[in-house]
Structure 1
Amino acid sequence: MTSAAQTVTLLGLCDGELDPKKHQSSYLTNKVGGGPDWCLVAPLQLPRCARCRAPLSHVVQVYCPLNESPYHRTLHLFACPASGCSGRADCWTVLRSQCLEVEETSSRPDPPQEAPRSATDWCEAADDWGMEEEEDDGWGGGGGVKKESKVQEEKAAPQIEGSETDVSSRLQDLRLAESQEKDDEDVAPPVFRPFFVSVVEESDLYGEYGELDHAQKLLREYERREGVKVGDMGDDDEEEGGSGGEKYEKTKARHGDAVFSRFMKKISSCPQQILRYCRRGKPLFISEPPSNLDQVVSRCGSCGGGRTFELQLMPALVSLLRGEREELGCSGGGGSAEEELEFGTVLVYTCTNSCWTSGSDSPVEEFCFVQMDPDQQLFK
């Protein structure tokens, strides 16, 4: 999706519902909701909420290979929709999975048909759509398994003859434990309705995007309500040294939150953006970040290296995260009033080196930082 030299910010927009009866998604698909499509490597079980221990719901999937890298690369964001959990960073999990392009093509000779792309890829490297993974049965052969089972039976036989009651009791306890473990694993998290995500460059929006007039109207309403003049649209953060940026930085909103005012100004050209992507770029904070953010962002748990900002989820995504059962008017499952995500922005930091060991058997966990929205009703 990007290289070290990239400075372009890409925006993710909702691009229609993903109907699983008509389209087959894969790890090459950018999408909201649904189930995760793993890049050959899947976790043994879904991540769980650190607060309530419930399985997390899949929120967003982003296919984001790096330029000049031989790997396919996908990020999955999970969150707990339970009341009181979604605004906490420890109730979110980001998993990164990768696989070699040659490894993927050689091990998948008959890929199923991929959903047609409805919009631009995240980057030039993301052009190998159509690959779908098959589960490897993990069995290297049959003879060794049978021989081992026979030896185990021979060793167990004398014990059964000597103490049938004791063995029966142990087997019963084992079955109860396995049954309890299976019940815990079978608790399915709420599933959000899936949507395709299309991609545009933020710089293309100024003066050309079809919703620009609507964005201008929203901006003017915000200025009247807050008693602040945020300046003309199109002023860039990187140009703050100019008079326009300097004037804005000195302006104080009526509620006194200059960071939030700056956030509103930046997204005013496209308030319906649900995701911002700029690896190694600067995050857009919705409220004042902690002064020790560099220390808050932990180092990569896999290689011990530093992390860099890669993407963030935006407030407009909140209204899209509704359970599949809610659409049918059903009770229970995802989408209940007690189970919905609320956040301002979720910032994702990933390993700077995007470390990966070929043949790895599990995804790499990355870091996310959550900020609540100080004025959520603006995005409803």
Structure 2
Amino acid sequence: MSSSAQEVTLLGLCDGQLDPRRHCSSFLTNKVGGEPDWPPVVSGPSPRCGGCGAPSVHVVQVYCPLDTSPYHRNLHLFACPAAECSGRPESWTVLRSQCLEAAAQTRGRPLPKEKEVDGWGGGGGGVKDAEVQDEAVEVSRRLQGLRLGASPADVPVLRAFFISVVEEADLGGEDDELQHAQQLLREYERREGVAVGELNSGSGEETYEKTGARHGDAIFSRFMKRISLCPQQILRYCRGGRPLFISEPPSDAGRPVPACGSCGGARTFELQLMPALVGLLRRKDGGEAELEFGTVLIYTCTSSCWTEESGSTVEEFCLVQSDPDQQLFK
């Protein structure tokens, strides 16, 4: 995947519940919740909250190989499910893992190539066909069964959902999306006292006008305008592109994003979680996940550094922003 080359923004949408009795998942699967699927030869850790120390819950798994790289590549996002830690950046953990295709082969049975997997570079649809991933799943299950670093029993598990992928640019001419977007915008205008211009499906011009919203800033209005054609998006991906802030960035946001803790190199924006994801985050046992956020922005090593011999994950950087109007997305 190389959306950054042309700054193509890809959107992740919920594509139905992942029922383990009927579906299989592997590290090639894009999904919400469930147990993390680690690539072969990678020792998957069990992250804990940087605030309270409690076990973190697995929130999102993204398969995101780079076009110029020979590696399979994943990002796993974890968060503390405790209410008192919700929205705190130290309660989130982002782990990157990679493995060569050759290293992912077991007993002479190769994994499907990237082009055979309908992921972020596939141009739509979720990774739902078990037939496509049978061999990868079989390899992943065998290796995970032998892995000593299994998740502790007290780690909560969220209900799992498939994530399908579409290009944001492909949504511009859909009448039903436009109607739904206009309805959301009208509701927002009534509540907040902000006038947002009618959507123009044929151009990307910013036609809204801020008239003293209660939240008071054009940043939130711009956020609403940008996502209005697809308010159900749960994830935005554009490696090397620009993040979409939901509120004023922190005062220290002008400073460079912290360097990669592995190689010391610069980081780049890669993806962000969106408010619509919050409504999907329910514990498998029926309890509330207590996760609330506006957007979680993920920055990763620009060179995607990796040491094959290490077999361990690389921690990346995230910025958490609260949602000034969370109920709009529920």
Bin for the TM-score computed over the shorter chain? 0.7 to 0.9
User: Would you say the 8 A contact 1:11–1:273 is kept in 2?
Assistant: yes
> 1:203, CA displacement in angstroms?
0.8
Tell me the equivalent position of 2:108. Answer: 109
After superposition, residues 116-135 of structure 1 pair within 5 angstroms as 120-124=118-122, 129-130=133-134, 131-132=136-137, 133=140, 134-135=142-143
Q: Does residue 308 of structure 2 align to residue 358 of structure 1? A: yes
Unaligned stretches of 5+ residues in structure 2: none
AA partner of residue 267 (structure 1): I
Q: Counterparts of 1:121 and 1:285 in 2: how far apart (Å)?
A: 25
Q: Counterparts of 1:17 and 1:301 in 2: how far apart (Å)?
A: 35
Within the candidate set 148, 157, 181, 1:215 is matched to: 181
Moved runs in structure 1, 4+ residues, more than 6 A?
125-128
Write out per-residue CA displacement over residues 106-143 of structure 1, whole angstroms, 9 at most, x where no aligned residue: x3534799xxx9x95210599984413232899xxxxx
> 1:224, CA displacement in angstroms?
3.0
User: Would you say the 8 A contact 2:172–2:202 is kept in 1?
Assistant: no
After superposition, residues 114-263 of structure 1 pair within 5 angstroms as 120-124=118-122, 129-130=133-134, 131-132=136-137, 133=140, 134-135=142-143, 186-208=152-174, 210-234=176-200, 244-245=205-206, 248=208, 252-263=212-223
User: Would you say the 8 A contact 1:309–1:350 is kept in 2?
Assistant: yes
More helix by share: 1
Tell me the equivalent position of 1:61. Answer: 61
Unaligned stretches of 5+ residues in structure 1: 139-181, 327-334
AA partner of residue 80 (structure 2): C
Q: Counterparts of 2:175 and 2:61 in 1: how far apart (Å)?
A: 25
Tell me the equivalent position of 2:296. Answer: 346
Q: Does residue 76 of structure 2 align to residue 76 of structure 1? A: yes
Distance 1:270 1:44, change over 3 A: closer
AA partner of residue 160 (structure 2): P
TM-score scaled by length of structure 2:
0.86
AA partner of residue 73 (structure 1): R
Greater CA radius of gyration, 1 or 2? 1
Within the candidate set 273, 280, 283, 2:233 is matched to: 273
> 1:188, CA displacement in angstroms?
2.1
Distance 1:96 1:290, change over 3 A: same
User: Would you say the 8 A contact 2:123–2:167 is kept in 1?
Assistant: no
TM-score scaled by length of structure 1:
0.75
| RMSD of Structure 2 on Structure 1 (CA) | 2.9
AA partner of residue 295 (structure 2): T
> 1:44, CA displacement in angstroms?
5.8
User: Would you say the 8 A contact 1:41–1:363 is kept in 2?
Assistant: no
Distance 1:108 1:23, change over 3 A: farther
Helix, strand or coil for the counterpart of 1:193? coil
Q: Counterparts of 1:257 and 1:235 in 2: how far apart (Å)?
A: 24
User: Would you say the 8 A contact 1:67–1:125 is kept in 2?
Assistant: no
Q: Counterparts of 2:23 and 2:101 in 1: how far apart (Å)?
A: 23
Write out per-residue CA displacement over residues 251-294 of structure 1, whole angstroms, 9 at most, x where no aligned residue: 54243122111111111111111000000010011110024325
AA partner of residue 120 (structure 2): W
AA partner of residue 143 (structure 2): E
Distance 1:259 1:41, change over 3 A: farther
Q: Counterparts of 1:10 and 1:108 in 2: how far apart (Å)?
A: 35
AA partner of residue 266 (structure 2): G
**Share of identical aligned residues, percent?**
64
